[in-house]
Amino acid sequence: MTQYIIRKILVAFPTLLIISVLIFAVLALAPGDPLAQFALNPAIPASTRIRIREQFGLDKPWYVRYYKWSTSMVQGEWGFSFSSKSPVINIVMQRIPQTLQVVGISYLLAILIAIPIGVISAVKQYTIFDQVATFLSFIGGSLPSFFTGLSFMLIFAIHFHWFPIVYSTTLEITNFATLKQAINQMVLPVLVLVVQQTASLTRFMRSSMLDNLPLDYVRTARAKGLNDWTVITRHVVVNSIIPVITLVALGIPGIFAGAIITENLFRVNGLGQLLVTSIQNSDTPVVMALSFIFSILVVIFNVIADIMYGIFDPRVKYN
C-alpha cells in the first residue's frame, strides 16, 4: 500500500501543475480589468494607475506572472486581493468557519440520513416506505437549490416566522440565547443542502444495495443460519457502501468550495460567496487561490477514496 500511495502522490504533482497552468492562463486571458475601479476614479491619475499595475506585475506576460504566482503559492504567499487590499490567505481563513458550519454540517447530516434510508428502502423494496423514499429522493434531487431555498424562505421564514432569512456572521455565542439564535439562523441553509445531498446519496446507496442483495454470498450467509439483520449489516451493507465511498469522498471538496447558490441566497459569508464576489469584481488573486485550493482537495480526496477502497474491500490489491 505504501508504494501505491507514493505512486498516487507522484502522479498528483504533475496533475496539479497542469491544473494550475490552465487556471492561471484562463483567468489571465479572461476579459475584464482588475484595476478598472481605479480608472473610474478621477482622483487617481493615469501615472498612478500605471505604477499600481507595475507593482502588481500586471504589465508582465502571463507566463512570467504564473511563475511568480506559483512560487509564491508554494511558499504560502497567495498574493493580495485587488478589492480588499489585504492578503488572500487571511480572507480565505476568515471565510472557512462559516462554510464549515453550514455546508459541513449539512453534508454530515446528509450522510447520516441517506445511508440508513437507502438500506431500508432496498431491503423493503416496493413497499410504501421504498416508494415514498424513492419519490422524495427524485424530487429532492431534481429541484434546484435556489427554488428549494426560496420555497423554504416563503414557508418557514415569511409565513410562519420560525427562522431568520439572512445568516448573521457577526453573532457571538456567549450564552444559551445566542446559541439558540445561531442554530435558528443555520436551519434554513442547512436544510436546503441536506435535501439536495440526501437525495443523491439515498438513490446511490439503494441502487448499490439492490445490486448486492441477490448475490450468492447473501444466500450462503442465510443458509448458514444467520438472521437477516446480521446478513444485511455485516455483509450486504459493508459491500454496498464501497461505491458510495467515492461519491462521499469526492463530495467533501465541495464542502470547502461552499454551496455557491445557497450561500448567496442566505447571505452566508463563506467561500462560495467569496468566489462569486471575487469573479464579479475581477479579483484575480482570490479567484486563482480558491480555484487551485479546490483542485488540490479534489486530488487529495481521490487518493483517500482509493485507499478507503482497500480498507473496505479486501479484493482490491495495491500492486
pLDDT band at 128 (very low <50, low <70, confident <90, very high): very high
Give the structural domain span for 210: 96-312
φ and ψ of 87, to 5 deg: -60, 140
Is residue 210 within 8 A of residue 125, CB to CB? The reply is: yes
**pLDDT of 117 strictly over 80:** yes
Cα–Cα distance, 265 to 259 (Å, whole number): 10
Q: Does 222 fall in a domain? A: yes
Task: Look over the chain and give the mean of its residue pLDDT values, rounded to a whole number.
Answer: 80
Give the C-alpha separation, 190 to 105, whole Å: 7
- Residue 80, all three cell numbers: 493580495
pLDDT bin (cut points 50, 70, 90) of residue 52 is low
The answer to whether residue 33 sits within a structural domain is no
Q: What percent of the chain has pLDDT over 90?
A: 7
Measure the CA–CA gap between 20 and 291, rounded to whole angstroms. Answer: 9
What is the dihedral angle through the alpha carbons of 286, 287, 288, 291, rounded to the nearest 10 degrees? Answer: 120
Q: Output phi, psi for 80, to 5 deg.
A: -120, 145
pLDDT higher than 70, residue 70 = yes
219-261: pLDDT as tens digits: 888 888 888 888 888 888 888 888 888 788 877 777 666 577 7
Q: Is residue 70 part of a domain?
A: no
Look at residue 149 and give its three-state secondary structure: helix
Query: Is 234 within the bounds of a domain?
Result: yes
Residue 132 binned pLDDT confidence (cut-offs 50, 70, 90): very high
CATH number of the domain that residue 229 is part of: 1.10.3720.10
pLDDT over 70 percentage in the chain: 83
User: Does 105 have pLDDT greater than 60?
Assistant: yes
> Which three cell numbers, joined as nine digits, stand for 103?
455546508
The predicted pLDDT at position 37 comes to 58
Kindly state the cell numbers that stand for 108.
454530515
Count up the domains in the chain and report the number: 1
